[in-house]
Homo-oligomer: A and B are copies of this chain.
Amino acid sequence: MFTDVGPKKTSSQQLIKEANMRRIFALICINEGISRAGIAASTGLSPTTVSTLADGLISSGLVIETGAGELATSGRKPIMLEVNPGGGAIIAADLQKNGYYLGIFNLKCQSLDEVFIPLKDYEALGSSIVENTAILLEKCGYGVDRLLGICVGAPGIIDRKKGRVVSSTIIPLETSNLFYEKLKKAFPDVTVEIMNESGLCAYAESQYGAIGRHTDNLLYIDIHAGIGAGIIINGSIYEGSGELAGEFGHISIDLNGPVCKCGSRGCLEILASIPALVANIESETDFLKEHPETRTEDEKLRIIAMEYIGKKRYSGQIDKTAEYIAYGINNAINLINPGAVVIGGKITAMGSGFLKKVVEVQRRIGLDRNRRTKIIMSEFEGNPVTAGGARYIFNKIF
């Protein structure tokens, strides 16, 4: 996007120009409405340079002039520059058990639309995304040439270099599934990334979250059937040396605890996942007697949450889960000392009572100095996977 500006130049000069262009564009992104003069003052670049580069951004369609801005004192009114929302579109997918969400975002990373596409056969994932990307683009008035990137968020272990889901307990995606290649082939000039969903949630929190925005290092804990984590280090998604970081569910907090399928004992996943919580409640309370009908886990969770929030029922089991999670979080804080820990996933159905218990336990067992880390529940509006994915693509390009 930034490389087709002007004729061939010597590499280093081109580099400078591109870097300055990025700086200017970033400023325009952050400040909704800023003048050329404002950019010059803020960057230290000369007004001349800013004018030249801004004109380049305008002619490439990324930026538009939005008329005269207000000025406190006298003088010529500034011409305000803003990101051109229609200048480009980003597509983000969120793979689920029986299909996927597909969202379209404008250049301001605002969600324009999001649909759920049911999938019977995951073999067809690639071609399905290709089709529905075209549909969404058309629906929102974008030509295919305006597509900037596609991000696919998936549960499980990702091999980003090969663009594959290596293993996942949730979606039936074989290692051999070539949906990444299909996307690259259909949209050759476009950035395509496969990312772990927890990482994208973490990224969404770190970019948009009221708390997350203010820290460089953040841990997002995703509690559902499994327990995963997304880690933000120095503002970027951290994936570890083998793209395996964030296996929060297999942190052990009880080496004498129950045996986990991973070979260890007392893992959080076996103690504090949603299935573990439901199983505890079923075996220790009258839940099954009161609700004898066969139900899905989601339905059970809904009932449990309702009765917990309304009548404080099952608080023994839920508090216990909170304690386990607090031990896990405290271990993570001791190791990586993030500025914030965000709890997300289905467990958020339990509401603030659950969070309160987690915080209470962590404050009790944590070192004094580690109590500064904020522990909150995700309050993200919309789908954090697609929002994080779109933002990730955006920041990768610009």
Contact = CB atoms under 8 A, between A and B. Distances in A.
A40 to B, nearest CB: 13
Nearest to A214: B241
A263 B371 CA distance: 12
Interface in A337-368: 337-339, 364-367
A324 B255 CA distance: 8
A262 B372 CA distance: 15
Q: How many A residues touch the partner, as a band?
A: 35 or more
Contacts of A11: 44
A7 interface: no
Interface in A317-339: 323-324, 327, 330-332, 334-339
Given A334-B248, A369-B157, A241 B215 contact: yes
Interface stretch (A12-20, A69-77, A106-114): A12-20
A253 interface: yes
A238 interface: yes
Interface of A: 11-13, 15-16, 20, 44, 157, 167, 215-217, 229, 231, 233-234, 238-248, 250-256, 262-266, 323-324, 327, 330-332, 334-339, 364-367, 369-370, 372-373
A227 to B, nearest CB: 10
Given A233-B238, A255-B324, A335-B335, 11 more contacts: A167-B369, A217-B240, A241-B339, A245-B337, A247-B367, A251-B335, A254-B254, A255-B327, A264-B330, A331-B331, A332-B335
